[in-house]
Structure 1
Amino acid sequence: MHRRLIAPGALAAASLLLAIPASAAGFQPGAPGIGDPYYPYYGNGGYDVSHYDLRLKYQPQSDELEGTATILARTTQDLSRFDLDFLLDVSEVRVNGAKAAFTTSGQHELVITPATPLPKGTPVTVVVRYSGVPSTKSAYGFTTWHRTPDGAVAADEPESAWWWFPSNDHPLDKATYDVSVAVPDGTQAISNGTLQSTSSKLGWTRYTWRSAKPQATYLATLAIGKFDITTGTTSAGIPVINAYSKDLGDNDGAARASVERTGEIVDWLTGYLGPYPFDSVGGYVPNTTTGYALETQTRVYYSPKQFASGSNTSVVVHELAHQWYGDDVSLKGWKDIWINEGFARYAQWLWSEHEGEGTTQELADYVYASHPADDAFWTVKPGDPGPDNQFDTAVYDRGALAVQALRDAVGDDAFFAILKGWPRDHAYGNASVADFQAYAEKVSGKPLAALFDTWLFQPSKPAASAARTAAVARAATAPVQPRSWKQIEATNFVHQG
């Protein structure tokens, strides 16, 4: 989706200008970034959020959004002031009931100074009242708020929250959510989790959604428009909620033929990844012009373009695999993106094998042979690709090759134990590539540092194993393209607009 480098100097200088002496010795401002080297000013320091309560009102005709965000947090330092990531117009901020001073800094920082400093370990309730027209707001030259003919959608990576709620916008600070949205009668509001209630009054209908498990800010989504909603359950009884814009046109049938298989695919994925980690699942297809899909937690976002060439269950497999790899276990830093994308792509390879359209090894051979040694594909390091290459094809395809190399190295028994054990042992937390390597070594009992370095961190084409070299030599030609490849290839740019 978005790839950018932010110059640290400008925002740091702006923050210094805003420094206000703390009223007690030792109290310091929270950092304007959580510490991610890819995105220095995403997230914030000094506190940890446990819950967001968002009460919103949205007018589709004018794109006007009004909101009150109640944020429950706890300070992690003696705090004189702190930032939230946000773009809309703020009218009032209260901290623990008292009015707080606020201003803005940089391109997306809301800087809040409470009436009295906050000691480390203090429970904090922050209330932000705000309004604005999200489609008129941009930061760093882009927007993640997408207008549709009958409403709007908030869904993007690595950020989308700034356009509709104030937050600590980094996956390291996961929280639970209540999202309550009032829209004109006849319009619907869809978000993550389970629908708690609907109510109508004076021409407005309010939809209230709850996400009861920790959720990263970029995985929170909001879709407003006129949808056809279908419901069902998986074999394990997990509610399935899918939604389709009523004006999808020629893409409607293919979208439904793909997304309506969500329950079946979740059942299949549990065999490899363990029990589904959340209390609902599903997807929605709004009438947007974007080209990507996104693993928004429990309620996957799909662009209609994903189905422009017909049904594509492979993209559904990819996004649902993320519910374990990326949502349940989230990355510690954006450089750890391989754990999300390499394994979601490998799930597509497993689905290909399940469907009889090419085995994981056939797909690995095909990808490996398709990129000669001098191809720039091999210069991208999936284990630390850099912000400009975070969603490069190599992170997906070379990333999946690394997963297959791990499987070859440890054997199927250990490999599938790793695949299923990882989301169980790190449930609802965050983890890095280094954490995954340590886990794989623990489960397999094998040293894997050289393998991880070769496949994830070297900017060159790894040598083929002796067995693979012999197999390719026997074939005398490049491996035949597996039948599933076109569907898989269609998701190569699944996170690009």
Structure 2
Amino acid sequence: MFRRHGLRAVAAACCATALFAPPALAGGDGPGAPGAGDEYFPGYGNGGYDVSHYDIQVRYQPADDHLRGTTTIVAKPTQNLTAFNLDFALTPKSVRVNGLPAQFSQNGTELTVTPAETLPEGSLATFVVEYEGVPSTVEVDGLNPWIRTSDGALAVGQPEISAWWFPGNDHPRDKATFDISVTVPDGTEAVANGVNTDRSSLAGWTTWKWRTTKPTATYLAFFGAGQYEINQRTGAFGQPYVSAYSDGLGELEGPAKASVERTPEVLEFLSGVLGEYPFEAQGGLVSSEGMNFALENQTRPTYSHLFFRDGANTSVVVHELAHQWFGDSVSVDTWRNIWINEGFASYAEWLWSEAQGTGTAQELFDHYYAQYPADDPFWQVTPGDPGKEAVFDGAVYDRGAMTLQALRNVVGDEVLLDIVRTWVAEKKYSTGTVEEFIQLAEQKSGKQLDDLFNAWLFTKGKPPVGEATGVPASALRIQAAPPAAVAELDRTHALLHHDH
């Protein structure tokens, strides 16, 4: 879902010889690019290599927030690589490339590594980084996404968090599989992505091992350490199900469990709409402090306790689980394409409401269309290109969902279902753009949809009523009694895109 973003910093912390080489020449040896080329966040991610696997081993002490780690990265150079960058904010102690010591320097969250030998294009490469630090004290350009709690920490954030606990290629374009090992003092629990493969104790410390075998974006890898009740059982599709609830939830424990424990049911519903669930495990984690948002961490979304203040809230569960398809399996190719994540996850809430009989998607569309007058700032954000400062604006969510209902009105239920299922099947474990989705929608519908998508995604102002825009006349009528789902949707989205 969301975390306030920040630009890469220039606070230098040199750890070895400074090695800032010029860009690589086409066809020759050279360094990888220090960014992935994202127009909103040009410093995020890196070029020159492709990661296939991360092995992350961290030892975390809640008492002083000290983290010590060793991360091994398995990668393949995409060019003859003389130097490369990793995104990392903590202090490296050593870097080895293919077993040999490498020179390195650090500037903000850019860790530049120069191996002893050029890495041939297409070869097997391993990067091993040893490091330590106190993540809650590391600030880069005013940004610190690390969440320290009274009993531990939450490595949860979007679009950045990984640099505060492991080095990597921090952009959704470069997904990888993960082994995450978290060692904490006995009596402390540690939860991460995927399947819990082992737990063992030695000399007062317990190591929790987690594995996810499907491609995962770096910001969707997480861990939560603290005092948790952990429940493990069989979930939907016969998969491992793990849920974790902070001991400090108090009176919110009941509504939190009444919501998150419906995860298998919600996944069964969503798979009936979107197609096969793309991952190997499921569950969720609810924190009692430290965060006021929810995030779709792959296989195991993380929820703030605040979502359950007014009782059970299945809308937020539906939203984060829909992200497993839209955001996790099919990720943004660049952060400009955030509508593909948030618009679809929000519309999934409308479909759930329709199925539960608490308000049809059209009734919800009509409500929100009438709720925002033409001069409301809501209509000044274009979900298809919201701008760096409005990546998580409310319009990306609600106007984004309205776009899909408008598309449904123009192409019909069966065609929309075909578009969505084809999209998640063809883009599975990769990335997509808004333009690619529009092209698919036109292909499947046999219609020219420029008027609809331009009005809803790329033009400031309230889309007018009309057949081409998918806005029916019913949207002009303000209902005396809004759909029953509205209250839950409103309080859910108020937190989802709250700028904290």
Contact in 1 for aligned 2:4/2:158 (Cα 8 Å): no
Give the letter aligned to residue 81 of structure 2.
L
Contact in 1 for aligned 2:65/2:135 (Cα 8 Å): yes
Give the letter aligned to residue 79 of structure 1.
L
Partner of 1:170: 171
Query: How many angstroms apart in 2 are the aligned matches of 1:241 and 1:7?
Result: 35
Query: Which among 3, 28, 31 is matched to residue 29 of structure 1?
Result: 31
Per-residue CA distance 1:446-497 (angstroms, 9 max, x = gap):
2223321111000111111269554356x5x456421111111112231433
Partner of 1:97: 99
Query: How many angstroms apart in 2 are the aligned matches of 1:432 and 1:479?
Result: 39
Query: How many angstroms apart in 2 are the aligned matches of 1:42 and 1:472?
Result: 41
**1:394 to 1:468, Cα distance in 2 relative to 1, 3 A:** closer
After superposing on structure 2, the runs of 4+ consecutive aligned residues of structure 1 that deviate more than 6 Å are 7-11, 21-25
Q: What SS does structure 2 have at the residue aligned with 1:491?
A: helix
Give the letter aligned to residue 77 of structure 2.
T
Give the letter aligned to residue 61 of structure 1.
A
Contact in 2 for aligned 1:194/1:209 (Cα 8 Å): yes
Contact in 2 for aligned 1:57/1:67 (Cα 8 Å): yes
**1:327 to 1:116, Cα distance in 2 relative to 1, 3 A:** same
Contact in 1 for aligned 2:10/2:141 (Cα 8 Å): no
Give the letter aligned to residue 47 of structure 1.
Y
Per-residue CA distance 1:370-413 (angstroms, 9 max, x = gap):
11111111110100101110000000000001000111111111
Report how many residues are paired: 490
Partner of 1:341: 342
Query: Which among 64, 81, 86 is matched to residue 88 of structure 2?
Result: 86
Structure 2 counterparts to residues 248-263 of structure 1, below 5 A = 248-263=249-264
Per-residue CA distance 1:239-282 (angstroms, 9 max, x = gap):
22100011112221111111111111111111101111111011
Partner of 1:43: 45
Query: How many angstroms apart in 2 are the aligned matches of 1:450 and 1:123?
Result: 48
Contact in 1 for aligned 2:145/2:156 (Cα 8 Å): yes
Query: How many angstroms apart in 1 are the aligned matches of 2:332 and 2:118?
Result: 32
Contact in 2 for aligned 1:270/1:276 (Cα 8 Å): yes
Partner of 2:353: 352
Structure 2 counterparts to residues 32-431 of structure 1, below 5 A = 32-105=34-107, 107-431=108-432
Contact in 1 for aligned 2:95/2:127 (Cα 8 Å): yes
Partner of 2:15: none
Per-residue CA distance 1:312-359 (angstroms, 9 max, x = gap):
000000000000111011110001100110010001001111221111
Query: How many angstroms apart in 2 are the aligned matches of 1:405 and 1:145?
Result: 39
**1:338 to 1:182, Cα distance in 2 relative to 1, 3 A:** same
Contact in 2 for aligned 1:5/1:38 (Cα 8 Å): no
TM-score by length of 1: 0.94
Query: How many angstroms apart in 2 are the aligned matches of 1:232 and 1:55?
Result: 26
Query: How many angstroms apart in 2 are the aligned matches of 1:20 and 1:395?
Result: 39
Give the letter aligned to residue 69 of structure 2.
G
**1:66 to 1:495, Cα distance in 2 relative to 1, 3 A:** farther
When the two chains are superposed, the root-mean-square deviation of aligned CA atoms in Å is 2.2
Per-residue CA distance 1:213-255 (angstroms, 9 max, x = gap):
0000110011011211122333421222100011112221111
TM-score by length of 2: 0.94
Query: How many angstroms apart in 2 are the aligned matches of 1:445 and 1:465?
Result: 19
Query: How many angstroms apart in 1 are the aligned matches of 2:162 and 2:24?
Result: 32
Contact in 1 for aligned 2:465/2:473 (Cα 8 Å): no
Note the C-alpha offset of 1:288.
Answer: 2.0
Query: How many angstroms apart in 1 are the aligned matches of 2:463 and 2:146?
Result: 40
Percent identical = 50
Contact in 1 for aligned 2:109/2:163 (Cα 8 Å): yes
Query: Which among 456, 471, 474 is matched to residue 474 of structure 2?
Result: 471
Contact in 2 for aligned 1:233/1:263 (Cα 8 Å): no
**1:4 to 1:67, Cα distance in 2 relative to 1, 3 A:** closer
Give the letter aligned to residue 312 of structure 1.
N
Give the letter aligned to residue 412 of structure 1.
D
**1:459 to 1:8, Cα distance in 2 relative to 1, 3 A:** farther
Note the C-alpha offset of 1:9.
Answer: 10
Give the letter aligned to residue 172 of structure 1.
R
Query: How many angstroms apart in 2 are the aligned matches of 1:235 and 1:100?
Result: 46
Note the C-alpha offset of 1:5.
Answer: 6.3
Contact in 2 for aligned 1:232/1:240 (Cα 8 Å): yes
Q: Which runs of 5+ in 1 are unaligned?
A: 12-16
Contact in 2 for aligned 1:287/1:304 (Cα 8 Å): yes
Query: How many angstroms apart in 1 are the aligned matches of 2:473 and 2:113?
Result: 64
Give the letter aligned to residue 328 of structure 1.
S
Q: Which runs of 5+ in 2 are unaligned?
A: 13-17
Per-residue CA distance 1:280-326 (angstroms, 9 max, x = gap):
01100122232100000001010111111211000000000000111
Give the letter aligned to residue 118 of structure 1.
L
Contact in 2 for aligned 1:23/1:117 (Cα 8 Å): no
Query: How many angstroms apart in 1 are the aligned matches of 2:122 and 2:128?
Result: 19
Partner of 1:14: none
Which 10-residue stretch deviates more, 316-325 or 27-36? Answer: 27-36
Query: How many angstroms apart in 1 are the aligned matches of 2:57 and 2:164?
Result: 15
Note the C-alpha offset of 1:188.
Answer: 1.2
Query: How many angstroms apart in 1 are the aligned matches of 2:392 and 2:357?
Result: 28
